[in-house]
Amino acid sequence: MRIARFAHGGDVGYGIVEEVQPDGAAGAAAGAEAEGLVVAELIGHPFGIGDESVRLTGARYPLADVRLLAPVLPSKVVAVGKNYADHAREMGGEPPEDPVIFLKPSTAVVGPREPIIYPAHLSERVDFEGELAVVIGRLCRQVPPERVPEVVFGYTCANDVTARDLQAKDGQWARAKGFDTFCPLGPWIETDADPSDLELTTIVNGEIRQNSRTSLLLHDVTALIAYVSAVMTLLPGDVLLTGTPAGVGPLKDGDEVSVTIEGIGTLTNGVATGD
Ligand code: MN
């Protein structure tokens, strides 16, 4: 099931993204294109409830007629550094034995098609990092690996936008990772994905820049949630970024960057200079 948060007219809500069948009936979504997709509006929000209790308002909108928003408003975004060996090496080192985690502020989150604002007053090097994001569905702490599936709501695409010069300069990464708009998420949450071996592709201005598979994660989703939840309570809607593969590189004003994950969808954002 694909769960989107969207705006239609003046209203904001959650909905299930479905494919319109040739006979006009809606079914499970299969394609990633806006054509032929509709959003069936949900009553309330989808977190903390089972599939049986998903209730629809009855309203359906063509996907092309709504604006997709970031699919969650997390209390925090927990991210993992150097979780693909080839990326750790391109950053000039070997991957650490244990996951290195950091936080991105909730205010960094933006949705599909919202611009990444380049903070030209403070940085001269802003990079894209395409990543698989995990959305937490239940309040949890100290989750043992065998119970991780119970706390995962679903998966979406993320761009862990990074001011690379500030990351090197500061040591601590709060500035480099924390600018407003530095955490695009979307286009929706896929609740049925198996994250063990999905292709991940990042494209900038039509050119493939990153292409890898989640089977190459050094610490997989199960290990990461157990590791992070041993430290901090995770709340419904919290997001875990699982790390980026090799191929990271700079963005500039006017660029368009897309992160596509097999079975989930494509997250696209432009880049605009801010002040
Ligand atoms: Mn990252």
The pLDDT tens digits for 101-111 are 999 999 999 99
Please state, in angstroms and rounded to a whole number, the distance separating the CA atoms of residues 267 and 202: 9
49 and 14 Cβ atoms separated by less than 8 Å: no
pLDDT tens-digit series, residues 161-175: 999 999 999 999 999
| Mean pLDDT across 222-232 | 98
Please state, in angstroms and rounded to a whole number, the distance separating the CA atoms of residues 15 and 2: 8
Q: How confident is the model at residue 94 (pLDDT cuts 50, 70, 90)?
A: confident
What pLDDT sits at residue 25?
Answer: 55
What pLDDT sits at residue 159?
Answer: 98
pLDDT tens-digit series, residues 21-59: 666 555 555 444 567 899 999 998 888 655 556 789 999
Amino acid identity of residue 211, one-letter, is N
What pLDDT sits at residue 243?
Answer: 97
Q: List, by residue range, all CATH 3.90.850.10 domains of the chain.
A: 77-273
Find the 132 Cα to ligand 1 centroid distance in Å.
10
Please state, in angstroms and rounded to a whole number, the distance separating the CA atoms of residues 197 and 20: 28
Please give the CATH number for the structural domain made up of 77-273: 3.90.850.10
What pLDDT sits at residue 47?
Answer: 80
Find the 245 Cα to ligand 1 centroid distance in Å.
9
Find the 80 Cα to ligand 1 centroid distance in Å.
6
- Both tokens assigned to 185: 């998420």
- pTM (predicted TM-score): 0.94
The DSSP code sequence of 223-238 is HHHHHHHTTS-B-TT-
Of 61-75, 89-103, 163-177, the range with the lowest mean pLDDT is 89-103
268 and 183 Cβ atoms separated by less than 8 Å: no
Please state, in angstroms and rounded to a whole number, the distance separating the CA atoms of residues 113 and 267: 8
Find the 265 Cα to ligand 1 centroid distance in Å.
19
Find the 57 Cα to ligand 1 centroid distance in Å.
37
pLDDT tens-digit series, residues 122-143: 999 999 999 999 999 999 999 9
